Chains A and B, each alone.
Chain A
């Protein structure tokens, strides 16, 4: 009756940690690249800006999302990823090869590298999306949560496709601007937003002992969002200006409503104690609302400011918050699953080190805002973010070291 069901679906500890460490490494590269190129860029369409943006989106955000999904999706679905270690390794290698060639390709404007990177990245995203779809299909659970995850993978699929088409446009094959806008819409409002939404439905009640999100939101938001994205793509390709503005406005409304709802639910949480994760969550939601308001009233082409608030203010902050919830728990959980009961979650990454890293991020964010007064602040901002990223990397390393040391104790004990 229940053939194939297993609750022991979590992959080895090294799988998610490898992705998290790689993600933090790209933040360091990003900071250094901003210090080098920050002064010389002027528009979103500069090749340097495209490279910098993708160091954050592909280098950090994608790594953490993939790593977390390898860990979380099987637990939520009751079905493991097929050959998880092998597949995670293939995806990790392909993703890194793709990111590095993509970024170098844009910094050096080398067509061959960009074709190679585009093909590799699209292949990697398709492979991951299909692998995840397969996991979902094999699951006995086909509940709302699973449908939300499936919708975010659909977003990833289209985002990768339109991203590749936009890349072709850089060599004159298609209109880059239109395909680029669709790529960004599917990436932000589809893949990233829907994944954050799906994870929030479980993470917020679980980590903060808060109320569940209303069921009509869980059931209705993702189909509405996907339908709006398809309409957006149609309007963009067919140059239907009015429809484009309406869909843009509605997509932003979804983000704002979700952000407000999550703040409301968090404020009414039962586990009242405040920690750095909650503050970061509020900060991220504030930035998401700001970015959505600016985008709702703006021309369809994203400006620097919108990208900054959406990616650096909202998505980065949210991921940073979740990493400090997930990594200590994962470390402790994997140790105690191995019958190592001496470890304590609170000792995995010292709270003080988390706070210092997050405060460096806040400072970096503040000085980035100051670039409106003088572009010179970009150097201060990037330098602070470099230190923040180094600390994040060290904090994740510390967790890995903690795990390794306690696992050695297990061997001695045996």
Chain B
């Protein structure tokens, strides 16, 4: 499995958790919605940690692009998502369905366009620049989950 395959599969898992949370929200099952939302938030934040603490610094060093290149834009978008999580926490805890959906839509589009850039460019770059240690890197990424 390549770095790109692994990280892309994690994107899809997060997408799935958010849609599950929204399905429960739609049917008024707030406790289940809150549970799935919490799982979505945890998975997404863990994904950001994998990138910010491990993958991005490695890519920056290998490619010589430094920390002010594309990875910096990705970090900024992570900050945007984190700010949305604060509002989504409020909406889910208050069982405010309309606000939760509205914020969920922002989160969804933000993450989808963010993921698109990562999958089309950044992960492709990682597959090239970090090819020698790909297996070891994927193993380390899997360890993050345990």
Choose one: A143, A271, A337, A344; the contact of B106 (CB below 8 Å). A344
Report A367 CB to chain B, min CB distance, Å: 32
The answer to whether the Cβ of A346 comes within 8 Å of any Cβ in the partner chain is yes
| A333 contacts the other chain (CB 8 A) | yes
Contact among A7, A270, A271, A347 with B73 in the assembled complex (CB-CB below 8 Å): A7
Q: Is A86 an interface residue (CB 8 A)?
A: no
Interface residues of A in 330-349 (CB under 8 A from B): 332-333, 336-337, 341, 344-347
Spot the interface stretch: B14-22, B33-41, B47-55: B14-22
CB-CB < 8 A to B131: which residues of A? none
Interface pick from A16-24, A202-210, A287-295: A202-210
Q: Which of B127-141 contact A (CB under 8 A)?
A: 128-129
Which residue of B16, B69, B120 contacts A270 across the interface (Cβ within 8 Å)? B16
List the count of A-B residue pairs having beta carbons below 8 Å apart.
94
Is residue B103 contacting chain A, with contact meaning CB distance below 8 A? yes
Shortest A370–chain B CB gap in Å is 36
Verify if A323 is at the interface (C-beta below 8 Å from B): no
The answer to whether B22 touches A272, judged by C-beta atoms less than 8 angstroms apart, is yes
Min C-beta distance of B23 to chain A, whole Å: 6
Contact with B along A51-80 (1 / 0, CB 8 A): 000000000000000000000000110100
Q: How far is the CB of A48 from chain B (nearest CB, A)?
A: 41
Which of B16, B76, B106, B117 has its CB near the most chain A CB atoms (within 10 A)? Answer: B106
Name the A residues within 8 Å of B103 (CB-CB).
Answer: 344-346
Q: A1-B63, A346-B102, A346-B103 are in contact. Are A272 and B26 (CB under 8 A)?
A: yes
B71: nearest chain-A partner, CB-CB: A7
**Residues of chain A from 311 to 337 with CB closer than 8 A to chain B in the complex:** 325, 329, 332-333, 336-337
Distance A241 CA – B26 CA, assembled complex (angstroms): 55
* Interface contact B117-A7, CB-CB below 8 Å: yes
The residue of chain A having its C-beta at the shortest distance from the C-beta of B80 within the complex is A336
Chain A interface residue number, banded: 20 to 34
A344→B87 contact, CB < 8 A:
yes
Assembly CA distance A207 to B112 (angstroms): 8
In the complex, A76→B115 CA distance in Å?
11
- Please determine whether B106 and A345 come into contact, CB atoms closer than 8 angstroms: yes
CA distance A6 to B121 in the complex (A): 10
- Shortest Cβ gap from A2 to chain B (Å): 6
Nearest CB in chain A: distance from B67 CB, A: 13
B116 touches A329 (CB 8 A): no
Q: Could you say which residues of chain B place their CB within 8 Å of the CB of A205?
A: 112
- In the bound complex, residues from chain A placing their C-beta under 8 Å from that of B116 are 75-76, 202, 206
B29 within 8 A of A: no
Closest Cβ–Cβ distance, residue B99 to chain A (whole Å): 7
Which of B18, B76, B113 has the largest count of A CB atoms less than 10 A from its CB? B113
In B94-146, the 8 Å CB interface with A consists of 98-99, 101-103, 105-106, 108-110, 112-113, 116-117, 120-122, 125, 128-129
Given contacts A337-B76, A341-B83, A346-B99, contact A78 B26 (CB under 8 A): no
Query: When the two chains form their complex, are residues A2 and B65 in contact, meaning their CB atoms are under 8 A apart?
Result: yes
Across the interface, A333 reaches (CB within 8 A) one of B23, B26, B110, B125, namely: B110
> Do A75 and B113 form a contact, CB below 8 Å, given A2-B63, A5-B121?
yes
A2, A205, A346: which has the most chain B beta carbons within 10 Å?
A2
26 pairs, A vs B, C-beta closer than 8 Å:
A1-B125, A1-B128, A1-B129, A5-B121, A5-B125, A6-B70, A6-B73, A7-B73, A7-B122, A75-B117, A76-B116, A140-B121, A206-B112, A206-B113, A207-B112, A209-B108, A271-B19, A272-B19, A272-B26, A273-B101, A329-B110, A341-B83, A345-B105, A346-B99, A346-B101, A346-B102
Closest 8 CB pairs of A and B: A346-B102, A206-B112, A7-B73, A341-B83, A345-B106, A7-B70, A270-B19, A336-B80
